[in-house]
Amino acid sequence: MKKVGIIIDNYHLNYKVSEFLEYLRSVAGVNLYIEESYLLNSSELHFDEDIFFIKAKGTLVLALAKLIEEQTSIPVINPYKAVWLSVNRFLNSTCLKKAGIPVPDFSLNPEGFLPPFNDFIIKNIIDQKNYKFTPITNQNNTHIKVADERALEEVDGIDTKYNYLYYQRFIRSEWEYKIYGIGENVYFYKQLPILINPNKTESRQEIKEIPELKEYCFKAMEVMDLKVTSLDFLKSSDDQFFLSDINCTPNFNYMKDGHKIVADFLLEQAKK
């Protein structure tokens, strides 16, 4: 029986993977490495798993993933590079754009300096913590300006983290297209944008394959070194798709049989 190591945090463990773990434990051995409670004694360092799966994105998770990759030959999904690029919005926007994948215009500006476009959304620079998106919207007949409350707090709050803000051009889109990439398979959904309906799953529906988005998905996975991901696309008024967000820890519970699809993929990727 294959053995799978799950590197995870308490939030994902308690709310996102119950069905996944139940199925995985029926077909494989499972070891949990929980970010908030795991103590690693370097003198007793030994991993006998056939594969590791990352379902978190904190600093300690990144450190453990990097150690496993450097000290063993055990495959890690998703690896350190993939997680780090995914959580850093400015870096992944730059890499994706350089690879020819259409992303909304973006800029990283010192506090007090507006971006070179009028319609924008301010997002947190490093997307590591689990939180609910809380938009602050300023809209008139001509322009719209949206800010994620946490992004502002990270600059102006009590625990200041940055002196910069990440701006992304706001794309007015009727739908948000949620694309899941699991290995060589791609799954297609759409939902109303969160500013229209905060309950993003209420309007979610499975849709037919969109070849253009499938191509972008595979390219993004290659560039970012991702094996399991979800991508958010918006469609502008001139029918151009833009990749607005990329996620290295997707909630595959929203997919039909998502827990089984991901678990079976991990076992296929496990070292022989």
One digit per residue, the tens of pLDDT, for the chain of length 272 reads 999 999 999 999 999 999 999 999 999 999 999 998 866 666 667 899 999 999 999 999 999 999 999 999 999 999 999 999 999 999 999 999 999 999 999 999 998 899 999 999 999 999 988 778 889 999 998 999 999 999 999 898 877 888 999 999 999 999 999 999 999 999 999 999 988 888 878 999 999 999 999 999 999 999 999 999 999 999 999 999 999 999 999 999 999 999 999 999 999 999 65
pLDDT at 12: 95
- Global pTM reads 0.95
CATH architecture of residue range(s) 88-102+172-254 = 2-Layer Sandwich (3.30)
Query: Are 182 and 261 in contact, with CB atoms under 8 Å apart?
Result: yes
Query: Are 185 and 230 in contact, with CB atoms under 8 Å apart?
Result: no
**Biggest CA pair distance of the chain:** 64
SS (H, E, C) the chain: CCEEEEEECHHHHHHCCHHHHHHHHHHCEEEEEECCCCCCCHHHCCCCCCEEEEECCCHHHHHHHHHHHHHCCCCEECCHHHHHHHHEHHHHHHHHHHCCCCCCCEEEEECCCCCCCCCEEEECCECCCCCCCCEEEEECCCCEEEEEHHHHHHHHCCCCCCCEEEEEECCCCCCEEEEEEECCEEEEEEECCCCCCCCCCCCCEECCCCHHHHHHHHHHHHHHCCCEEEEEEEECCCCCEEEEEEECCCCHHHCCCHHHHHHHHHHHHCCC
Cα 183 from Cα 167, distance rounded (Å):
31
Which pLDDT tens digit goes with each residue over 159-207?
A: 788 899 999 999 999 999 999 999 999 999 999 998 888 887 899 999 9
Contacts by 14-20, CB closer than 8 A, 24 or more apart: 16/55, 16/251, 16/253, 17/55, 17/259, 19/253, 19/259, 20/252, 20/253, 20/259, 20/262, 20/263
Cα 10 from Cα 260, distance rounded (Å):
21
Q: Are strands 120-123 and 164-169 parallel, antiparallel or unpaired?
A: antiparallel
Cα 200 from Cα 193, distance rounded (Å):
7
Closest to 266 (Cα-Cα) out of 33, 76, 48:
76
- Give how far Cα 170 sits from Cα of 41, 104, 148, 187, 203, Å: 47, 7, 13, 25, 21
Which pLDDT tens digit goes with each residue over 59-86?
A: 999 999 999 999 999 999 999 999 999 9
Closest to 130 (Cα-Cα) out of 35, 51, 24:
35
Cα 54 from Cα 66, distance rounded (Å):
11
